[in-house]
Each structure stands twice: as structure tokens, then as C-alpha cells.
Structure 1
């Protein structure tokens, strides 16, 4: 099939796409002895991916590897989207639809997303983490609109093939940012002063530790007003509705992490929901730990152990993190050390250590983990650890995940090794999703610039298909 498709594509187009094929001589990451994930068999790795899709991915990844081009593109799109000129705005949306939206998203509507998820499941054996992309909510009306979108996403997911999809939710979309900041301030102050009384606080598990960036709250905050307490209860009720629907449909709910100024409140929401809904062998609610934060391992260990004492099976989604620039600037403005690890090496070590801890818990049937990583070495280490612990590759309490449009080589390598693998799949109208994509482009600029492995693997497979097409023609 690949040869026939390749044969129908003009050789000149393929040649241009492979113009940097000489870079294939660059060394791919060295695999450990007896690797669990095999990236060497390129033909098997991309066997389920059409040539046209590979070309599209290569073109986009190559363009986004140029940091200056990403910066210019983001600036132009932001300016155009903010413009009152209809033609300029339409042109920007059209350009975004054909490039970043098409590459990183599953479409604009629920039907588009449904087709994309079904296709990945049936054609590639991949799951999806559905993210109905929405902007941060500023008031209750926006929260209610976002809630309706999340509930419809769950309804759509429940109609898909069983086990093919989970759902991602942002607390910032169902609770106003200003209220999350207030709640986070009070939780940080409570960590410093345990005598502080928070009458609105529901049964939960610890969200902070001594090494957390408590400097973000430098003086005692005012108590929540009666109106703020009412709004907080409404936000918790929105999350409860989402959890109830997910429980009824047996669909995992992954709650995203955000920046440290609001993360304590997000963790409070997450763990309060986990205490209520995670009583079966397979948790419904998953919180997110960002390994680039210095306090992430301590917070995760404290939360997991507290959950065990409560008889709660805690689900953890482990990521590296996406707000480095924001966190560093904020800490600098306050004259405080950055809450982020000082080097990528320390972040890698933290991620791998957290992953090892959670794999130990999975092997003892205590908790579940989604290892969201684009790093091949981390994937290899986790896969090897899982095998050593006797965790079955079909065990749904261990999943790997990568962003749609990123790290496809690692995704297919993990799938070929027999593990459960998901793609993080945003969807929604371009105008609605663009603010999310623009923020991710800025925060993940370094990640996009280091997609070298992806590009090398795709070029190698395209070069193989081109050679096969030429041989077939002759």
C-alpha cells in the first residue's frame, strides 16, 4: 500500500521533502541494550501511516523547528486575530486551519473529532484523550457554557468504541481564574499556618508540601466572601457533574495542570473529586503532576500515600510541564528562586523518578498512571521498568501518551511493543482553539525546536518509500 501511494506522488515533491535526507546520517538516540521500544524498524514503525500524512507532518515539524519562524508566526496570528479587519482575520484563521490546527487538532466539531478518534483506534490501535479546547473562564456564564461543552464531549466519547477514548478537562474552564487564585492563596497560607480555618474546604488530600513555592502568598489573605464561597460550590458542582457522567460511562477523566499561581486550587478540586469517585480498582479521576517543578515528587508521594490511607485509588498523569517561561518570570519579579528545576537534566531525572514510583504503585494495584512523554529515553526506561515489575502490557492502569502531531515514532514504537498508548487530541473551532494553540506554541517552543528525532525518523521512512517507489517503477 505504501509503495502504491508513494508512486502516485510526483518524485519532485518527494525529493523536495527529503532535501535534507543527508541528515539521516545524524545519530538517533542510542537505544539501551535489549530495548523494549524498537525504533530501528522504520517500515514497521510507520506501517499504518499514509505517505501523505507523513509528508504533512514532516513539513509542519520542519517549519516549527525554526524558533524564529515560530515567533514570527505567533506574533502575526495574534495580531490578526485581534484585528477588527474581517479580511485579515479570515486570512489568519484560514492559514491556521491549514497548518497548526490541522496538525495538532482533530477537527472543528464533534463529528470531526469522532471520526479522528475512531480512525486512530481502528487503523492504528491508538487511544485518544479528548480535549474540547476552550479559553479560561472569566465568569459563571462562561463556566456554564464550558461545562456544556465538556458534557457533550463525554457523551460523544461514550458513543465511540469501548476503551478508545478518555476525556481531558481544565478546571480553569469551569471556575473563574480570579477565584482559583484566591483559593490557592488561602491553601498556601494554610500550609504555612495550619491553624487557619477554611470552612469551605471539603474532604481532600494534601495539595502542598514544605518545598512548594509558598512565596507566592506573602501575607495572610482575606477569607472568601459569601459570594466567593457560593461560586466555589458552583464550580465544585460543575466538576461533580462531569465526574458523574464519566463514572456512568466508565470513561477516565484527566484534569490538566496549569501554572503555580492557581495549581493548589486545581489540585484541591482534583483530589476532592478523587476522594468521591475513585473507589473502584480503576480510578476515574486523574490529576496531573508537572515534573519540571522542584516540589513535584514530594507533592506526588504525599498525595498518593494519603490517598492510600483514605482507601482511594489515585490516578496520576505525569508530564514534564509547559509554563517554564511564565514561572521563571514570575519568580524573578518576586525576587524568589524559580520553582522550576534549574536544568533539563534534573527535570528528566525527576520525571523518571516519579514514573518509577508510580509504576511500583501500579504493580501493587494501588493507583494508575498515564506517562505523558515525548522523550525516547524516558519511554524506554518506563517500559523496561514495567516489564521488570510484571505489569502486563495490556494493563489499563498503565498508559503512555503523546500530543497529537508530536513524537509519532515513540507513539508507534510503544504501540508495537504492546503498551496502551493515547494521543492527546484537542478539537474545536479554529477561533476557539487558537488561543490555546498559540499559548502552547509559545510555551512549547523548545519542544518544537527539539523534534529532531521525529523528523529524522519520518525522513528515513520517506526515503525508504521513495526508493521502493523508484524500484517499483523500474
Structure 2
């Protein structure tokens, strides 16, 4: 019996029950109870203006995205054109351009019950194909720049925050080495040596600062190398009973649940704590072989996500003598997933559990009703139980307007299918504005 078989969930007792054809996001009564009452009117108006653009018909939105991408430098250099973008989209999705802005905005999030941020540098690698195939760490300027930008990101946050790392941001040489990677070929493993050393360098700095390192998942073409590098970092830095390094699992991939199970087994065998971030996934539209790699339907992805949460929070072990332990972040904009995971976590039997703390995360500028509802629930739970074992974070980026503009355009492309969820957010915000205007109610 292999590790994937031993680490199984029992569907008959699982608390997850999904319909095969969900029609729209579930919005519970608690969510309708003025979750935005703590937000200033300026924030509500700004978010509504952003959502109004996101709700445009897909062909028109695609045309706008293409135009802005083509003329991004011109737009950014113009005060007239850049000012409205900075006041709306930039402030909605990005946390700032310098340390003082970032600190002030994170402090504001904390006053609203958000525990902190998962911070990433907005600038993305431009892979133009002109670099050579050499992966020499001493000569790879792009790799050095990647390490430096991640170290700078670590310096922007506090010990209660995370940073998000994208390995493809290390430049074309590193990307080529990742694409060539085969675990069974020592030459291909050696090809990742420079990238591994760079990863360890930023992990050392993060360890000194007490900041956790969240490695983002990317396309399945690069994921085997990402898994290898991240597990190597976990084996080195997750050995003191907590997780400094986290790996991300995209549940739209058919193999993700089995990979998670085998990685839990590996962590148990080697004696380190797994860092796990679960997402449904953002790279589904760039996968090269959709039929074999990707779940057949959206409900299949939901079932895989639910099964992974069930596995982690119900604490299925390999053997009682050799349990695995993990720190878990559930990155989701799905109300049903959040509510069920919270219920499952709170209803676990007393005693030592493999997951002691649960973290939720949503993108900054998106699904704010979920984040604010969680913040309210967590505050109530903490007051009642005197425990702080559940928290909520926002994933955000920092950088110049131009760097963040390109990030925002990519997010817009990835989330064109989120129109229904955006309408829910807009409806709740309009309701909150209505409550403030109709002061006699």
C-alpha cells in the first residue's frame, strides 16, 4: 500500500456535500449582516468603481486590457491618465510603493480585523528568450535580482506576515532549468543548484525576521521543479515544530491531491512540518495538455479542494507512531469552502491535532465580504474561547504603478469568470451605502 492510499479520507463521514451544478456563490445570512460597516465610504466607492469595470462584457474588458497593456508606459508617465488608476485600481489591489506606504496600509488592514498580508513584489520577469541556457549562479544577474527583490519584500513586513515567491521570476535561465528538470536525472537536478542556493539565501533572511515564505504554484510545466525546491527548503527550515516554508497545491490539477498526500508522508518520514497552501488554481488557461492534467469539471475541482481540506483538518495519519504535522492556509474566494472549513476546524475533537492553526486568505481588492465576515467571526471566537488559532490574511503586491499595473491586468484576465462573485460584493456594498444614507432605519 502506497503513501497516497494510506493517507485517505472517508467520504461517508466527510462534512462536505456539494451539488454537481452550483449556480452562484452562497451568501449566508451572516454575510448580509453589514460586513462592510467598518469600511470608510471612500473605500466602498472606490471598490464599486473597480467592480463596475470588472463587470463589463468579456469582449469589451479584453479589449480594454489589451489597450492598457500595449500603452502601459504612456499611461503611467501621464499624470492625467495615471491619477485615476492610482486612486482606484492601484489602491484597491496594491499595498503601496515604499516602506511607509506599505506599513500604513498594513496597519489599516489590521484595524479592520485582518491579521496581515501575504506580500509579493509586483514586478514580473520578462522572458524574451535572449538569455543563454547557462544557469551559473555567479553570473546570473536575473537570479541575483530575484533574490534581492524577495529579500527587500521580506524587509517590508513584520514577523506575523508572509511573503509570496514565484520561482519563474528568477529569469529565463532559471525557467529553462525548471523546464528541463527530472528528479531521476542527476544532471537536471544539478541544474537547479543556483536557484536552490538563492532560495536558501532568502529563507535565511526570512528566518532571521520571523517571516514565512509562501511559494506560489505555477503552470504544471514548472511545478515538478517547484515542488522539489520547496520540499528541499522545508526539510531544512521546517524542523523546529513550525513551518517557515509553504508549498501551494492547485486543485484544478488531477494529480494535486495525491501529490499532497505523498508530500505529507515525506514530511512525516523526514520529521519536518509541512507548510500547505490550498488554492483552486490560477494557471488553468495556460496548461499545455488540458485533457489529461485538469479536472474534467468545475465540481470535480471543488470536490478535490474539499477532499484536501478534509484530509488536513480531520488529521488522517499514516500511523499513530509517525503522524504528520502541518500549517495550513486556505486561499479561497468560495464562501461555502470557508464556512465548511471553519465549521470543521472548530468541531474537531479535543487533544493534539496535526493542524493547530488555520489561516484563510483572499486577494486584496477581491472577496472583501468574505475577509470581513471572517474577521468578525474570528474576533467573536477569540473573545469567547481566548484562543487565536484562526486568522485571515490578504494577498497583495507592492511596487511602482507600472509594475502593479501589469499585475492588475493579469489578475483581470485570470478573473473574468468571477462576474457573479463581483456582483455579490457590489450588492453588499451598495446595501451598506444605502444603510448609511437611510440613517432613520
Q: TM-score range by the shorter chain?
A: 0.7 to 0.9
Match of 2:431 among 460, 466, 469: 460
Give how far 1:308 is off: 0.9
Distance 1:30 1:249, change over 3 A: closer
Alignment-derived partner of residue 23 in structure 1 = none
Find the residue that maps to 1:420 and give its secondary structure.
Answer: strand
- Superposed, 1:200-219 pairs within 5 Å as 201=189
CA distance in 1, matches of 2:37, 2:402: 34
Find the residue that maps to 1:39 and give its secondary structure.
Answer: helix
1:186-233 Cα offsets, whole Å, 9 max, x none, are 32xx5xxxxx441564xxxxxxxxxxxxxxxxxxxxxx7xxxx3xx32
Question: Does 1:359 find its partner at 2:318?
Answer: no
Contact 1:168 1:256 survives alignment (8 Å): yes
- Superposed, 1:260-271 pairs within 5 Å as 260-271=220-231
Question: Does 1:284 find its partner at 2:244?
Answer: yes
Give how far 1:86 is off: 8.0
CA distance in 1, matches of 2:344, 2:76: 54
Find the residue that maps to 1:423 and give its secondary structure.
Answer: strand
Give how far 1:91 is off: 6.0
Alignment-derived partner of residue 101 in structure 1 = 90
CA distance in 2, matches of 1:27, 1:448: 10
Question: Does 1:384 find its partner at 2:343?
Answer: yes
Alignment-derived partner of residue 146 in structure 2 = 146
Question: What TM-score, normalized by structure 2, do the two folds share?
Answer: 0.80
- Pick the structure with greater CA Rg: 1
CA distance in 2, matches of 1:131, 1:391: 36
- Superposed, 1:218-233 pairs within 5 Å as 229=191, 232-233=192-193
Match of 2:264 among 297, 301, 304: 304
Question: Does 1:324 find its partner at 2:284?
Answer: yes
Find the residue that maps to 1:124 and give its secondary structure.
Answer: coil
CA distance in 1, matches of 2:301, 2:25: 21
Distance 1:365 1:408, change over 3 A: farther
Match of 1:56 among 46, 49, 64: 46
Distance 1:59 1:253, change over 3 A: same
Find the residue that maps to 1:312 and give its secondary structure.
Answer: coil
Alignment-derived partner of residue 40 in structure 1 = 32
CA distance in 2, matches of 1:200, 1:61: 45
Alignment-derived partner of residue 235 in structure 1 = 195
- Superposed, 1:111-190 pairs within 5 Å as 111-136=100-125, 138=127, 140-158=140-158, 162-163=159-160, 165-174=161-170, 176-187=171-182, 190=183
Question: Does 1:29 find its partner at 2:20?
Answer: no
Question: What TM-score, normalized by structure 1, do the two folds share?
Answer: 0.75
Contact 1:396 1:420 survives alignment (8 Å): no
* Unaligned segments of structure 2, at least 5 residues: 1-22, 132-139, 318-322, 379-389
Contact 2:241 2:272 survives alignment (8 Å): no
Find the residue that maps to 1:157 and give its secondary structure.
Answer: coil
Question: Does 1:68 find its partner at 2:59?
Answer: yes
Distance 1:308 1:415, change over 3 A: same
Find the residue that maps to 1:445 and give its secondary structure.
Answer: coil
CA distance in 2, matches of 1:107, 1:391: 42
Alignment-derived partner of residue 360 in structure 2 = 400
Find the residue that maps to 2:118 and give its secondary structure.
Answer: strand
CA distance in 1, matches of 2:168, 2:99: 21
Give how far 1:126 is off: 3.1
CA distance in 1, matches of 2:396, 2:188: 35
Find the residue that maps to 1:417 and give its secondary structure.
Answer: helix
Contact 1:315 1:368 survives alignment (8 Å): yes
1:247-269 Cα offsets, whole Å, 9 max, x none, are 12221111111111111111111
Contact 1:126 1:421 survives alignment (8 Å): yes
Contact 1:64 1:449 survives alignment (8 Å): no
Find the residue that maps to 1:283 and give its secondary structure.
Answer: coil
Alignment-derived partner of residue 374 in structure 1 = 333
CA distance in 2, matches of 1:409, 1:380: 13
Distance 1:113 1:361, change over 3 A: farther
CA distance in 2, matches of 1:290, 1:87: 34
Question: Does 1:198 find its partner at 2:186?
Answer: yes
Higher mean C-alpha displacement, 91-100 vs 60-69: 91-100
1:333-386 Cα offsets, whole Å, 9 max, x none, are xxx625221221111111111111122349977111100000000101101110
Alignment-derived partner of residue 10 in structure 2 = none
Contact 1:103 1:405 survives alignment (8 Å): yes
Contact 1:278 1:285 survives alignment (8 Å): yes
CA distance in 2, matches of 1:104, 1:362: 37
